[in-house]
Amino acid sequence: FRLALIQLQVSSVKSDNVTRACGLVQEAAAQGAKIVSLPECFNSPYGTKYFPEYAEKIPGESTQKLSEVAKECGIYLIGGSIPEEDAGKLYNTCTVFGPDGTLLVKYRKLHLFDIDVPGKITFQESETLSPGDSFSTFDTPYCRVGLGICYDMRFAELAQVYAQRGCQLLVYPGAFNMTTGPAHWELLQRGRAVDNQVYVATASPARDDQASYVAWGHSTIVSPW
């Protein structure tokens, strides 16, 4: 089967981001993709100050559009992630829709991105976000898929659990930055793939040098070899 990763330029206008994302999903499906993944935080700029402003409930405006385009294209759509609001808390959440448009699973980022690399980058997702507390896998006619988001990729145990549960493909929508990206983005994916003998795919937002948080980009698919 064909897997497509969408490396999307994210603007400050949510509706534009969602419209562009859906257009690119249609383009990927037209080229034969059966599973399509959007990047982390595809409908909102990435940053703790943006999460509360852009957060929405699930189901909501953005996920409704994802459901519609998945059904229209007859594909499995991994909706990258969006800031989700639920019961007064905010989460970094990935939704997956089946070929009939149904919501198959919802995954909330387990490991929040709190780092301080002196002189390079300081970032604290925990300022506004809460962590998820569960694993998410879903079945397709092609293979079983396990989900993580960005920083989750650094935690080998998560990938091991998914492999033990029969996943052959792990998908991590992610937005590594210009410090951690060159150092570890590809290394971590290849490590998880070889350790567990699974395919690993990462979908990143496109690099935007004008953004407050500059994503490394380099969306990647790695084989078990």
Distant-in-sequence, close-in-space partners of 5: CB < 8 Å, separation ≥ 6: 36, 37, 39, 201, 202, 203, 219, 220, 221
Catalytically annotated residue among 22, 41, 73, 150 = 150
Catalytically annotated residue among 40, 56, 84, 125 = 40
Q: Examine the residue annotation and report whether 40 is marked as an active-site residue of this protein.
A: yes
Whether 27 contacts 5, CB under 8 Å: no
Q: Which of 78, 93, 81 is nearest to 35 (CA)?
A: 78
Q: Examine the residue annotation and report whether 157 is marked as an active-site residue of this protein.
A: no
Catalytically annotated residue among 41, 56, 109, 125 = 109
Interatomic CA distance for residues 139 and 134, integer angstroms: 17
Q: Examine the residue annotation and report whether 150 is marked as an active-site residue of this protein.
A: yes
Query: 156: which 2 tokens?
Result: 């080998």
* Residues designated catalytic: 40, 109, 150
